[in-house]
């Protein structure tokens, strides 16, 4: 039986990594993992379109903040809560002020420490509050905003998996995907997400792209810090990157002035 084409296998892996959609994973190796991480923003955009539908439909029946809370819950459900778990574990490890193996050991613990709890509360509150504001915009602007934010969150993963970034452990998701994304795929993904953000803020076509660029820049700084502290990236770090970038883009889209 011929081997599955890398693009198809990468698409399968991207969907199974970033969503709970019932898609069977196919061939898995580092080239396929690189394709999957390059396609991560595409999966994020599709997820964002689905979440926009949830937000607008629920908003037609309930107050905006309730609709936003439901949408945040659905987002966690559709991603198994893995990104939120990664955020809590990563923040706990960084908050411990330990380095290397000692910090990685903290990330493995099943409990969530105070730093992780605060990070989760802040991220979920900001996302819900931003979505409540976005629900009041025209549906095209709302769609563009949610799609851009969720795609940007997954673009953060593409950035984290670029060539030259090592894995913190010799096994696990980090080892499979670290350093697998080339500059061309990264540039294409970044330009696509920036363009998606243009219609997100009516009358201010620059604000959406600026929010994306700023969030990714912050993620780059965070990733550099993580690599210095942990020695590289892990699956938890990728999850944390998704949530940090998504939240910062939402915040940038609702700022006024």
The model's pTM: 0.94
Residue 183 has pLDDT above 60, yes or no: yes
Q: Beta-carbon neighbour count of residue 11 at 10 Å? A: 19
The DSSP element (H or E) to which 224 belongs, if any, is helix 207-230
Block residue for tokens 């394709």: 35
Which residue from 73, 118, 113, 72 is spatially nearest to 93, judged by alpha carbons? 113
Residue 1 has pLDDT above 50, yes or no: no
Sign of CA dihedral 98, 99, 102, 104: positive
Tell me 97's DSSP state.
T
For 59-68, write each residue's pLDDT tens digit: 999 999 999 9
For 82-92, write each residue's pLDDT tens digit: 999 999 999 99
């Amino acid at each position: 039986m011929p081997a599955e084409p890398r693009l198809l296998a990468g698409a399968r892996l991207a969907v199974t990594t970033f969503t709970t959609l019932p898609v069977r994973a196919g061939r898995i190796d580092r080239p396929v993992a690189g394709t999957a991480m390059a396609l991560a923003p595409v999966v994020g955009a599709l997820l964002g379109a689905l979440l926009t539908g949830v937000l607008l439909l629920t908003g037609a029946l309930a107050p905006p903040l309730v609709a936003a809370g439901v949408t945040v819950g659905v987002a966690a459900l559709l991603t198994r809560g893995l990104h939120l778990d990664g955020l809590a574990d990563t923040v706990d490890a960084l908050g411990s002020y330990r380095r290397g193996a000692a910090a990685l050991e903290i990330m493995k613990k099943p409990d969530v420490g105070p730093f992780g709890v605060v990070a989760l509360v802040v991220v979920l509150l900001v996302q819900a509050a931003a979505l409540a504001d976005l629900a009041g915009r025209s549906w095209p602007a709302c769609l563009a905003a949610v799609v851009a934010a969720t795609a940007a969150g997954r673009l953060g993963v593409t950035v984290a998996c670029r060539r030259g970034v090592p894995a913190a452990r010799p096994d696990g998701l980090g080892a499979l995907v670290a350093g697998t994304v080339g500059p061309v795929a990264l540039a294409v993904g970044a330009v696509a997400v920036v363009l998606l953000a243009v219609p997100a803020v009516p009358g201010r076509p620059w604000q959406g792209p600026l929010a994306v660029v700023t969030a990714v820049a912050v993620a780059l700084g965070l990733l550099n810090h993580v690599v210095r502290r942990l020695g590289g990236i892990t699956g938890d770090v990728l999850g944390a990157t998704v949530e940090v970038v998504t939240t910062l883009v939402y915040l940038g889209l609702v700022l006024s002035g």
